[in-house]
Amino acid sequence: MKISFIGLGHMGGPMALNLHRAGHALGAFDLSAEACGKLAAEGLPVAASAADTLDGAEVVISMLPASAHVEALYLGGEGRPSLMERIQPGTLVIDSSTIAAATSRRVAEAGARRGVAVIDAPVSGGTGGAVAGTLTFMVGGAAADLERARPVLEKMGSNIFHAGGPGAGQTAKICNNMLLGILMIGTSEALALGVANGLDPKVLSEIMRRSSGGNWALEKYNPMPGVMDAAPASKGYAGGFGTDLMLKDLGLAQESAIAVRAATPLGGLARSLYAAHSLAGHGALDFSSVIRMLRKA
Ligand code: NAD
């Protein structure tokens, strides 16, 4: 199958490589020359523009930072061309970026007008899951379109859920990430408290991991440096899931909470704490660096 892949960052890069290695013919593009160069060095065919990836593509996948990027790419505006107008009718678009559900619905409507099926398929599992091909996909859109996408999604992930109609994948994703953002702060607080009282962070982590405080951060993504070799915390919080991306997701969760008058007090507090962490100059660091707010330097 010929696939167009747009957005080759921390997540998109390894996802595109997994499709390439599975034998799909890829046309890939990123606005960043650095990202393109890195993937070209790994053997991925990189195009000169997003439109140049479309030739013969049956599926278009995008993995972009936020709503504004997805809107600019597919819908254009302010003098920019719309990629949707260049995509052939009958093509399937899979947008895996985490964005506002309303934006996903607008892109799906633009696709429907052109005869292009669109699903939102944001992911969970981090950069480790993207590299290993074990991501969880949360899909919004028609069930038949998900079935068309499934063979492609299976090359990048091991769990595929149909959350509901257009935008439902995004709603599931921001609920999950609001919980993750809160859990990371709670886990950081508990670890910082134990270490300040003289405990070894590895020992405390193992105790809590196997006790009632056990959670994903303790399992796979410990925020304390030196506890897990593969976690961003042990690499100076480089790579991983940026604080500013977590801040964006918590903002989306709050917007959605306001729209339905839901009470999300811890989600709101978590957004404020990541915002303060970002304002202190840590927006590009992995979100687990939020532990730095809670312990002595
Ligand atoms: P990233 O910033 O590393 O990569 C995004 C890439 O998109 C960048 O390389 C950027 O140059 C490119 N881009 C932006 N606009 C473009 C355009 N118009 N055309 C082509 N390329 C364009 O971000 P990421 O960490 O890969 O995250 C991507 C998405 O996945 C985000 O929505 C994020 O919230 C979500 N996500 C990230 C993680 C994670 O652990 N990093 C986990 C789950 C979900």
- Domain with residues 2-165, CATH architecture: 3-Layer(aba) Sandwich (3.40)
Q: Look at domain 171-293 and name its CATH class.
A: mainly alpha
| Cα 64 to averaged position of ligand 1 atoms, centre (Å) | 4
**All CATH 1.10.1040.10 domain ranges in the chain, comma separated:** 171-293
Q: Hey, whose CA ends up nearest to atom 16 of ligand 1?
A: 31
CB 98 within 8 A of CB 63: no
> Which pLDDT value is given to residue 274?
98
> Which pLDDT value is given to residue 78?
81
Token couple for 29:
């593009």
Say yes or no: CB of residue 98 within 6 Å of ligand 1. yes
Structural element, H or E, at residue 26? strand 25-29
Mutate to test the pocket of ligand 1, among 6, 8, 11, 178 (most ligand atoms within 8 A of CB): 11
> Which pLDDT value is given to residue 225?
97
How far from 221 is each of 51, 79, 107, CA to CA, in Å?
37, 42, 33
> Which pLDDT value is given to residue 107?
98
Report the distance separating Cα 81 and Cα 73, nearest Å. Answer: 8
Token couple for 285:
């660091």
Mutate to test the pocket of ligand 1, among 64, 120, 176, 274 (most ligand atoms within 8 A of CB): 64
Say yes or no: CB of residue 224 within 6 Å of ligand 1. no
Long-range contacts formed by 27-34: CB under 8 A, 24+ apart: 27/2, 27/3, 27/52, 27/53, 27/54, 27/55, 27/57, 28/4, 28/53, 29/4, 29/5, 29/53, 30/6, 32/8
Report the distance separating Cα 120 and Cα 138, nearest Å. Answer: 8
| Cα 128 to averaged position of ligand 1 atoms, centre (Å) | 15
> Which pLDDT value is given to residue 141?
98
Say yes or no: CB of residue 157 within 6 Å of ligand 1. no
Structural element, H or E, at residue 124? strand 123-124
- Tell which residue, 73, 57, 52, has the closest CA to residue 7: 73
Structural element, H or E, at residue 267? helix 265-277
Report the distance separating Cα 268 and Cα 253, nearest Å. Answer: 9
Local confidence pLDDT in tens for the 297 residues of the chain: 999 999 999 999 999 999 999 999 999 999 999 999 999 999 999 999 999 999 999 999 999 999 999 999 999 988 889 999 999 999 999 999 999 999 999 999 999 999 999 999 999 998 889 999 999 999 999 999 999 999 999 999 999 999 999 999 999 999 999 999 999 999 999 999 999 999 999 999 999 999 999 999 999 999 999 999 999 999 999 988 999 999 999 999 999 999 999 999 999 999 999 999 999 999 999 999 999 999 987
CB 156 within 8 A of CB 133: yes
Token couple for 227:
């506890």
- Tell which residue, 84, 77, 40, 80, has the closest CA to residue 62: 84
Please identify, by atom number, the ligand 1 atom nearest to the C-alpha of residue 73: 18
Report the distance separating Cα 163 and Cα 149, nearest Å. Answer: 14
The reply to whether 173 belongs to the active site is yes
pTM of the shown model: 0.94
Say yes or no: CB of residue 123 within 6 Å of ligand 1. yes
> Which pLDDT value is given to residue 237?
97
Q: How many CA atoms lie within 13 A of 288 on its CB side?
A: 25
**All CATH 3.40.50.720 domain ranges in the chain, comma separated:** 2-165
